[in-house]
Amino acid sequence: MVSDDVLRTHLQELRRGTVVVASLVALRRPDYGYALLQRLTGHGFPVDANTLYPLLRRLEEQGLLTSEWNTEESRPRKFYRTSESGEQVLRRLLDDLAAVQTSLTTLIEGAPR
């Protein structure tokens, strides 16, 4: 029997890359960090705030997200949005993800390659 720790580690590794893709998809519609955290969790991508906020900063530094502060509310919030470069990267990531899924399906079904 596989230990819970071993399984948890592998699930975490599997999810790590998908959170980037999910964030770029979700941020096609501008949102702030906490709302994104809730939206991702609601769609089956549970992510810790200590993971998400550094990820958002990194994606912004890479030019894949843009951001602006909304100071109209009682508490200023930084809104993020997928940039044009982010859309280009996202399309490639989604294509690759689909290819990986196809390859896995073929492997699982035992079809010759």
Determine the distance from the C-alpha atom of residue 83 to the mean position of all C-alpha atoms in its chain, rounded to a whole number. 14
The residues that bridge with 70 in the sheet, in sequence order, are: 77
* pLDDT at residue 113 is higher than 80: no
Q: How far apart are CA 99 and CA 104, in angstroms?
A: 9
For residues 98 and 76, the answer to whether their CB atoms sit within 8 Å is no
The pLDDT tens digits of the residues spanning 1-48 come to 889 899 988 888 888 889 999 999 999 999 999 999 999 999 999 899
- Taking every pair of C-alpha atoms in the chain, what is the biggest distance, in angstroms? 60
Q: How far apart are CA 1 and CA 74, in angstroms?
A: 52
Walk across the sheet containing 31-32 and list its strands.
Answer: 31-32, 77-82, 65-70
Residue 112: pLDDT band with limits 50, 70, 90: low
Question: What percent of the chain is predicted at pLDDT more than 70?
Answer: 97
- At 31 the pLDDT is 96
Residue numbers of the domain that contains 27 = 4-110
Query: What CATH number does residue 35 fall under?
Result: 1.10.10.10
Q: How far apart are CA 43 and CA 18, in angstroms?
A: 12
- At 72 the pLDDT is 85
Both tokens of 110, joined, read: 């035992």
Q: Which of 52, 25, 24, 57 is CA-nearest to residue 38?
A: 52
Structural domains in the chain (count): 1
Residue 111: pLDDT band with limits 50, 70, 90: low
Mean pLDDT of the chain: 93
